[in-house]
Amino acid sequence: MGLKPVKIGLLGLGTVGSGAVQVLSRNAREICRRAGRGIVISHAAALEPPKLPIDTSAIKITQDGFAVVNDPDVSVVIELIGGYQPALELVLKAIENGKHVVTANKALIARHGNEIFAAAQKHGVTVAFEAAVAGGIPIIKALREGLAANHIEWAAGIINGTGNFILTEMREKGRDFSEVLVEAQALGYAEADPTFDIEGIDAAHKLTILASIAFGIPLHFERCYTEGISHITRDDVAYAEALGYRIKHLGVTRKTQQGIELRVHPTLIPERCLIANVNGVMNAVLVKGDMVGQTLYYGAGAGALPTASAVVADLIDVVRSLTTDPNNRVPHLAFQPDSIKDDPILPIGDIETAYYLRMLAEDVPGVMGRVTTALGRAGISIEAVIQKEPSEGVAQVPIIMLTHRVHEKQMQAAIAEIESMDCIAGSVTRIRLENLE
């Protein structure tokens, strides 16, 4: 006689929720072989009908999430409603009721994770969140378990598919940002309000989680530097290409002696880099460990079945560990809770990186000299320059430069000086550059 199937309560029957139902029913036998017992969704809360065609005849469906988290038969709650509320309240209630939680909610973990994990530890339950970062790619597990022997030095990732799709289209078809955004919305890749994706907030949620697991620090979403991609032009994309680089919306976290870098922004990366060739809506995370060197994780960062794949994998982990002593489980943030260290998060001015600069200059002698002098005064050396010939009847020419590595605050001072020159029109575009060596 095997163990009785484990009963699961599901919050949300949207894309990922109905995807999870599909994965569990389609792969039921394989999942049972892996988990050691059956896993069935017995109770679900949803405000709307399921997003995908699924058989819900064996599921008790309600509109009340609290009915699910308070159901005594439910052992594990899957939270897939997203956002902060009522998700936080429901998750905390499930934990208080002694239920394990599986979630894909990156915003919730990034902003309230410290509180959630403390509650989970107090009540002896697990909160699993693989699907919260990079969809179906098992990056949390890789960092937390697979690379546990390493000091993680840095991680850099394309962790928002919408932004990556837009930049890919701009590069491949020479189109403008605003035009591609409209298409991304029509294709369903971007929301009606695309702010979270294009301004880097979604990527910052995910990067916050990666940094915490990589370095054993608390979650500090509010300290993540975030910059969007709406100011990137097709000219920038073309100039970067001419210089041997691609522009990607990158999340970068690095441990330095001064503290932790935590930043999301458009970034030039060398085109020979594997990650520079991650296109469309795909995600990829590059991790550098001191013993292993660089490792790359690539795959679908969103979508019903890829994300549900990560949700159900977490569910299998939780079911396997239902009978284990809570103190012997893998710690939520990879390090034992009493050894999480609150290292300082560096302000962006203290970051050191190389730069791409684009400015519009009057077509008069000596402009280049004045610009290089201003950069030199700030201690900035130049690696490459593209100076375009003026076209017929146009009084201004674009100048494009790549600089060597320098502190951001030095660069800010130099740009302010360049922008104040009468021979420079408008503002200077600057995009950070990472060689990812």
Residue 258 DSSP SS3: coil
- Give the dihedral of Cα atoms 182, 131, 295, 320; nearest 10 deg: -170
Residue 253 DSSP SS3: strand
User: Distance between CA 387 and CA 309 in Å, rounded?
Assistant: 50
The residues annotated with a catalytic role in the active site are 206
Sign of the Cα pseudo-torsion (357, 360, 366, 370, in order): negative
DSSP letters of 376-408? Answer: HHTT--EEEEEEPPPPTT--EEEEEEEE--EEH
- Give the dihedral of Cα atoms 313, 316, 320, 323; nearest 10 deg: 120
User: Distance between CA 241 and CA 263 in Å, rounded?
Assistant: 23
User: Distance between CA 288 and CA 384 in Å, rounded?
Assistant: 28
DSSP 137: S
Q: Nearest to residue 152, comparing CAs of 335, 297, 290, 295?
A: 290
Sign of the Cα pseudo-torsion (335, 336, 341, 342, in order): positive
Contact criterion met (CB below 8 Å) for 302 and 161: yes
Q: Which residue reads 């049972």 in tokens?
A: 32
